[in-house]
Structure 1
Amino acid sequence: MGRHISYGVVGCGMMGQEHLRNIALLPDADVVAIFEPDAAMRAIAASLAPKAVLVSSLPELLARPELDCVLIASPNHLHSAQLREIAATRALPLMVEKPLFIDQDEAEAMRAFAAGYPAPVWVAMEYRYMPPVAKFIAEAEAATGGIRMLTIREHRYPFLQKVGAWNRFNRTSGGTFVEKCCHFFDLMRLILRSEPVRVMASAGQAVNHLDERYGDDVPDIWDNGYVLVDFASGARAMLELCMFADGSRYQEEICAVGARGKIECLVPGPTRFWPPQAGPAPVPLVTVSPRRPDTPYTFELPVDPTLLEAGDHNGSTFYQHQRFCAALRGEGRVEVTLDDGWRAVAMGMAAQRSAREGIAIADPMAQRLS
């Protein structure tokens, strides 16, 4: 085991609880302090991390001398301000949940934060670390001979209930293409090793949350859409999202095609949502289909059941924390940087604007983080 890592955690809603369960599986890390203002979420967090001190504010958490790092898993609209407060108070190493920020006006503040923050910051992009997705990424270049077309399709359940219904509104979530889909824009950049030069999107709210009311507020979050992205390399990518496809056997399907062949990745949704009457839950798959010879072959990539029980992301949260802790010990690097997180948000904002205004957005990376 390496040097022990002591976490402070900000925000223990659904995703924060997943982080708590996965940190508990690490042999050389634990959670020592938690800031969660909601009473119900705080009680759950206390049961998951019974040795952690529950504090009443972010400054009180940062004052704990035993902290080695801080995990931010609060609602989206709080991330940017909390990052700046940490920078002004005690610049500890950070893991921050996506998205880094949700409003274009915050872009400049995030650039300033990135330029001046002296400690490592890891943006939590769990999808990179799902075993079938990691296998896909590792094999894609050889299987395709150079990717020319990339398609990511997510057919899943609606947005779940969150504290204060923050994920029902664009103003607090950033909109579906920022909140949900920055994961996929991050994967596009990672897989294609290139930057986007044009974004075109169509989206809307067709089925979900139409009858919900929160005081006088009506949810305006989109539940379906398409996004086309042209990349500087000449490759094209497409995202297809449907959030009223609960019955899908696989939740994510990723496909890359090049002159040499095709590679596909199939990822099941959370185990807890799989209906028992449907039999055993599906196993993640990666299939390679060469053009010549034309004989496809498939890898099965089952995930440790303990990791499946610990969260909704096919074990990726555990693997992400392993690598984050290794980086803090000097045994690895920060693999998902502030720049990566910023660019994923920029692509999501471009997609939101494209769908809203019916226009193509050229040079979505015009504003650089660094």
Structure 2
Amino acid sequence: MKVRTAVLGAGEMGREHLRSLAMVPQAQVVAVYDPSEDAGKKAAQDFQVPQAYTDLHTLLKTEKPEYVVVASPALYHARQSIAAFEAGAHVLCEKPLCMDRGEADAIVEAAKKAGRLFTMGFQLRQHRVDRALKKFIAEGGLGQIYHTRVWAGHIMNYPWGRFHHRREFSFGGVMAATVVHILDAAIWVLGCPEPVTVSASCFRRIDKMPDPPINFEGSVSEVTVEDFGHAHVRFANGSSMSIDGSWLTHPTNRNVGFEVLGVLGVAKEGNHTVELEKQSEIVPHELEVEADPENYTAAEHEEFVAAIRGAGEPQVRFAEALAVQRILVGIYESAAQGREVRV
């Protein structure tokens, strides 16, 4: 039997999940939800979904999905995830997880109480080079890790959509929407060290530019999120991490990715490749890397559906999701207060 699946949200991310789920033979999308009747019906028509709903509880009661994909704005992630758990469904929630630490804890508690599986839409975990690097580091290939550098962003490319640029819906800007992917990948590859403190600064540049690159619905006056952020994280194991993100970076050759510094060498992950530095020289890496899946989002659905059927475990663990959320919350608290904060 196929896993009965519902997608919440018919916007950019919801449509991406519908497109990807069509590639997963073990899943059957039975319904899509969106408060906009037109958006829901359009998505249902475009992806051959039988039903579109504007009321979430009616969908859950009527369709009884086993698997719910939460692809709505972050403002709604907690309430929709918890409702799905209470209805007996397993949940994949898109990033960022939610709006604060309290909501994050509530999601985890609801999943545990319902005895249902939970994961997040961190597609970069499907990069086989990251999986190989994780194994390499766990086996001591770099020795003790003392620092990691993370960078992500766009070159003069502000995300489009109805909600990315409004903090009341999105939780945050470049750090919560873009950097979060690389941050999660780095945290995961490192073995999920425990974050202790965060010091950060954020800046909004777009409303100060004479000719801002606007490609979203609305005007610059509606932007309430950062398009640049920098943070320093300290972990309980004594290591640290620097994080930089920007949607409005000047043209540069800097790759999106992360760099892991260990006492035996440095591993640079970027553009899905790894370089190792040892004794001031670049040496060929010896990682055994499988071929990447054709579609990362479809691959994450395949793995989670398999876990629902008892074959394997969710790719994202509770502790990992909470660690990333704690760092993000710490970034915004630190930037607002102008000081280092505990997370």
TM-score by length of 2: 0.85
| Corresponding residue number in structure 1 for 2:279 | 291
What is the CA–CA distance in structure 2 between the aligned matches of 1:237 and 1:6, rounded to whole Å? 40
Aligned mate of 1:234, from 211, 233, 238: 238
> 1:208·1:244 contact (CA, 8 Å) conserved in 2?
no
Matched, 1:167 2:164: yes
| Corresponding residue number in structure 1 for 2:201 | 202
> 1:185·1:347 contact (CA, 8 Å) conserved in 2?
no
> 1:123·1:338 contact (CA, 8 Å) conserved in 2?
no
Amino acid across the alignment from 2:196? V
| Corresponding residue number in structure 2 for 1:327 | 307
Aligned mate of 1:356, from 324, 328, 336: 336
Flag the 1:223–1:95 CA change in 2: closer, same or farther, 3 A. Answer: same
> 1:80·1:110 contact (CA, 8 Å) conserved in 2?
yes
| Corresponding residue number in structure 1 for 2:248 | 244
Flag the 1:259–1:6 CA change in 2: closer, same or farther, 3 A. Answer: same
Flag the 1:85–1:68 CA change in 2: closer, same or farther, 3 A. Answer: closer
What is the CA–CA distance in structure 2 between the aligned matches of 1:29 and 1:189, rounded to whole Å? 29
Query: 3-state DSSP class of the match of 1:245?
Result: coil
What is the CA–CA distance in structure 1 between the aligned matches of 2:292 and 2:203, rounded to whole Å? 34
> 1:131·1:316 contact (CA, 8 Å) conserved in 2?
no
| Corresponding residue number in structure 2 for 1:138 | 135
Structure 1, residues 36-64: CA drift from partner, whole Å, max 9, x if none? 23356435523442143222321222134
1:256 Cα deviation from its structure 2 partner: 0.7
Flag the 1:53–1:107 CA change in 2: closer, same or farther, 3 A. Answer: closer
> 2:75·2:98 contact (CA, 8 Å) conserved in 1?
yes
Question: Greater shift after overlay, 19-28 or 352-361?
Answer: 19-28
Amino acid across the alignment from 1:68? E
Aligned mate of 2:149, from 145, 148, 151: 151
Structure 1, residues 70-99: CA drift from partner, whole Å, max 9, x if none? 1111111011121233344x1211111122
> 1:266·1:286 contact (CA, 8 Å) conserved in 2?
yes
1:250 Cα deviation from its structure 2 partner: 6.5
Query: 3-state DSSP class of the match of 2:83?
Result: helix
Amino acid across the alignment from 1:83? S
Query: Map of 1:174-185 to 2, 5 A cutoff?
Result: 174-176=171-173, 177-185=175-183
Structure 1, residues 185-228: CA drift from partner, whole Å, max 9, x if none? 43343233310111111221123696679589631211112111
Amino acid across the alignment from 2:279? R
What is the CA–CA distance in structure 2 between the aligned matches of 1:172 and 1:58, rounded to whole Å? 18
Query: 3-state DSSP class of the match of 1:234?
Result: coil
1:105 Cα deviation from its structure 2 partner: 5.3
Alignment coverage as a number of residue pairs: 332
Amino acid across the alignment from 1:171? E
| Corresponding residue number in structure 2 for 1:126 | 123
Amino acid across the alignment from 1:195? E
What is the CA–CA distance in structure 2 between the aligned matches of 1:98 and 1:262, rounded to whole Å? 29
Query: 3-state DSSP class of the match of 2:334?
Result: helix
| Corresponding residue number in structure 1 for 2:262 | 258
> 2:131·2:189 contact (CA, 8 Å) conserved in 1?
no
1:100 Cα deviation from its structure 2 partner: 2.5
1:343 Cα deviation from its structure 2 partner: 2.6
What is the CA–CA distance in structure 1 between the aligned matches of 2:263 and 2:21, rounded to whole Å? 42
TM-score by length of 1: 0.79
Q: In structure 1, list runs of 5 or more residues that go unmatched.
A: 268-283, 308-314, 365-370
Flag the 1:232–1:105 CA change in 2: closer, same or farther, 3 A. Answer: closer
What is the percentage of aligned positions where both structures have the same residue? 21
Query: Map of 1:80-95 to 2, 5 A cutoff?
Result: 80-88=78-86, 90-95=87-92
Query: Map of 1:53-72 to 2, 5 A cutoff?
Result: 53-65=51-63, 67-72=65-70
Structure 1, residues 207-260: CA drift from partner, whole Å, max 9, x if none? 369667958963121111211111111111111112113755675221112111
What is the CA–CA distance in structure 1 between the aligned matches of 2:51 and 2:252, rounded to whole Å? 41
| Corresponding residue number in structure 1 for 2:76 | 78
What is the CA–CA distance in structure 2 between the aligned matches of 1:208 and 1:133, rounded to whole Å? 36
What is the CA–CA distance in structure 2 between the aligned matches of 1:47 and 1:245, rounded to whole Å? 38
Amino acid across the alignment from 1:231? F
Aligned mate of 1:103, from 85, 100, 109: 100
